[in-house]
Structure 1
Amino acid sequence: MTALPSALDLTRAQYSGWACCWCGKSLVDVTGAVSAGVSRGRDGAHVLDIEVYACPDCAIAPPPRNPTGKS
């Protein structure tokens, strides 16, 4: 299983559940988006953990992450 992107690496739309956590595709008008799990992150004392969602294509087979950890 591929690890989820860090909460610190997500865009505002991905963090808010409006876009796929993997590809960034808008989920506003998508049918079949699914929970991908909890993306974890911290900024000092602030816990930024958030449930993120994936589009139907990425839910089946999430793309591999590159070595820098950015999706």
Structure 2
Amino acid sequence: MTARLKLPSADDLTYAQHQGWACCLCGKSLWTKVGGVSVGRARGGVGAHSFDIEVYACPDCAPGSATPGG
């Protein structure tokens, strides 16, 4: 069984996090050789409009991911 991450609201993401360029948890750039790991969907919306978006985390923040060379 894996622990569930508390993901930020889609409304609280920075532009880089929303685009998948930065970790949704710590803000570190994912434009590296290691890249990011999908950690789920950030939820958000207004009325009938859903702003849910797939978000990514760096290997340091993502549970159960191994750091290459580590």
- Cα root mean square deviation, aligned: 1.6
Count of aligned pairs between the two proteins: 61
Confirm whether residue 2 of structure 1 aligns to residue 5 of structure 2: yes
Q: Which has the higher helix share?
A: 1
Counterpart residue number, 2:17 = 14
Q: How does 1:10-49 map to 2 (within 5 A)?
A: 10-49=13-52
Higher Cα Rg: structure 1 or 2? 2
Q: TM-score, normalised by structure 2?
A: 0.76
Long gaps (5+) in structure 1: 62-71
Percent of pairs with identical residues = 64
Moved over 2 A (4+): 43-46
* Greater Cα shift, 11-20 or 42-51: 42-51
TM-score (structure 1 length as normaliser):
0.75
